[in-house]
Amino acid sequence: MPDTGLLTPVAIAGIDHTILDQNQLAGYRFADETSFLTDSRQHFKGVILLQTCNRVEILVHGTGAALTDYLHSLGRTGFTLYEGDAALRHLLALAAGTKSMIIGEDQILGQLKRALLLASECGTTDPVTDICINTAIHAGVDIRAATHINRGAVSIGSAAVRLAEELLGSLDGRNILVVGGGEMGKLVTQALAEKNLRAIYVTNRTYNHAVELAQEIGGRAMRMDQLYPCIALSDVVISCTAAPHAIITAEPLAATMNERFWPLDPTPRKLILIDIAQPRDTDDACRGIPGVHLFTIDDLRSVSEKNMEHRKDEAAHAGELIEQYLPEFIRLYNRTAAGDLIAGLYTWAESIRVRERDKALGKLDSPDPRTLAVIDDLTRVLTKKLLADATLSIRASAECTDITTARKLVDAITRGEQVCFLKHD
């Protein structure tokens, strides 16, 4: 591994909305996250998978070469690889929101927490991956507090509401249907609650979730089997479920549009469908239905570009703070990673302790249990005390990014290798 200032290798393979559109990203995602994590754990000390609407990121405690080979074996190519310091910098940028489609959005912090929780539940985390995600999250919170990057920030959900407003000129007096009661559905309804709407309908596969969400924003909950009658009543439909397949399809939607004629009008009333689900909730064939105007996450790029114009200074400030955080991140990383090096040292020492203890016990005639316990405790304490100063030196060297000295100290103890220090005038 090249000397990057990190005691052990760490790498990230990432691909996002700047490289792939939504359909391509959908094909890149891992449908079964648990299976992916379980399998990848056989190849890396720690693995965390972050999948959002706009990105797929794989963080591993391992080398970039090994991660590349592994992903190639799964048919995944085209990702950007970050190693060592660059991987930590990339994590900081993710958490700060400077790489989000909607610059400064806060949703990424919760997504990082969930990615860490899932990996923990699957048994694929280790101290290094833990410190990476937790440090990035804390830095992301601090950067937002020190800048205005998330002032008035919009999530994907509120960006969808803004797009609907731009398309219609105003949402005053409009009927809106939100399909989906999860986190994204909450973000959408929170943004809609600020508008002067005529009615908000909320439907979800779990009706109780729809009821809870509707109550929060003064809307009306509808059952999923009322989906198309609700669409017939709506000016805008914002769909954001976690369904694995399309729930709004062309044939029933076409029949619904036949109910949307004003008297004497030759075409049905305009229906705006904004699909921000991943994978998509809406069959692309719906685009061909007269009166239907379908927009997806890819269409929110215009909102993102306007958002970025307003936040260039804040994003630049956040970038400066990221560089200021990086040395501390490296220190915390190496302090944690030194645990592996020190664990190896103690494993070596423990094997010697046990061997010499057993030799000593073999020279005694039928030692009683108390004698056995005293000798075992004595050798254990001696081993720990003899290595205490060396452990402090190894950890201190690692924290100061002097990883060469840290490794040489361990090699000097375990292999008898000479440690040479250059003298400076």
Residue in the structure block whose two tokens are 């979730």: 209
Give catalytic status of residue 286 as yes or no: no
pLDDT in tens, 386-415: 777 777 777 776 667 666 777 777 777 777
**47 vs 333, residue with greater confidence:** 47
pLDDT in tens, 235-261: 999 898 888 889 999 999 999 998 887
Amino acid at 93: A
Query: In the chain, what percentage of residues exceed pLDDT 70?
Result: 91
The DSSP H or E segment spanning 242 is none
Q: Cite the annotated binding site for substrate by residue number.
A: 52-55, 100, 105-107, 111
**CA–CA gap between residue 279 and residue 243 (Å, rounded):** 7
Name the pLDDT band for 269 (thresholds 50, 70, 90).
Answer: confident
Residue 292 scores a pLDDT above 70: yes
Mean pLDDT of the chain: 85
**CA–CA gap between residue 148 and residue 107 (Å, rounded):** 16
Q: What is the mean pLDDT of residues 193-211?
A: 86
Residue 422 scores a pLDDT above 50: no
Name the pLDDT band for 302 (thresholds 50, 70, 90).
Answer: low
Q: What is the mean pLDDT of residues 156-160?
A: 78
| 244 upstream amide cis, omega within 30 of 0 | no
Which letter does DSSP use for residue 4 in this model? Answer: -
Q: How far is CA 303 from CA 104, 287, 292, 383, in A?
A: 13, 21, 21, 63
Q: Helix axis angle, 312-362 relative to 127-146, nearest 10°?
A: 150
Residue 362 scores a pLDDT above 90: no
pLDDT in tens, 316-356: 889 999 999 999 999 889 888 877 777 777 788 788 888 88
Q: Cite the annotated binding site for NADP(+) by residue number.
A: 180-185
Residue 57 scores a pLDDT above 90: yes
User: Of 53, 122, 132, 240, which residue is the catalytic one?
Assistant: 53
**73 vs 371, residue with greater confidence:** 73
394 token code pair: 């190894």
99 token code pair: 């790489």
pLDDT value of residue 382:
87
Residue 4 scores a pLDDT above 60: no
Question: The whole model's pTM is what?
Answer: 0.69
Maximum CA extent, the chain:
110
Task: Please tell me whether residue 56 adopts helix, strand or coil conformation.
Answer: strand
**CA–CA gap between residue 172 and residue 192 (Å, rounded):** 11
75 token code pair: 């048919």
Q: Helix axis angle, 312-362 relative to 85-96, nearest 10°?
A: 130
CB 411 within 8 A of CB 13: no
pLDDT value of residue 152:
62
CB 127 within 8 A of CB 336: yes
> 356 — phi, psi (to 5°)?
-70, -35
369 token code pair: 């249990």
CB 260 within 8 A of CB 221: no
Which domains are seen in the chain, by residue range?
Answer: 11-153+309-335 (3.30.460.30), 156-307 (3.40.50.720), 338-415 (no CATH)
CB 221 within 8 A of CB 193: no
Task: Please tell me whether residue 49 adopts helix, strand or coil conformation.
Answer: strand
Which letter does DSSP use for residue 282 in this model? Answer: B
Q: What is the mean pLDDT of residues 133-138?
A: 96
Name the pLDDT band for 418 (thresholds 50, 70, 90).
Answer: low
**CA–CA gap between residue 319 and residue 343 (Å, rounded):** 36
pLDDT value of residue 103:
81
Name the pLDDT band for 212 (thresholds 50, 70, 90).
Answer: confident
Residue 76 scores a pLDDT above 90: yes
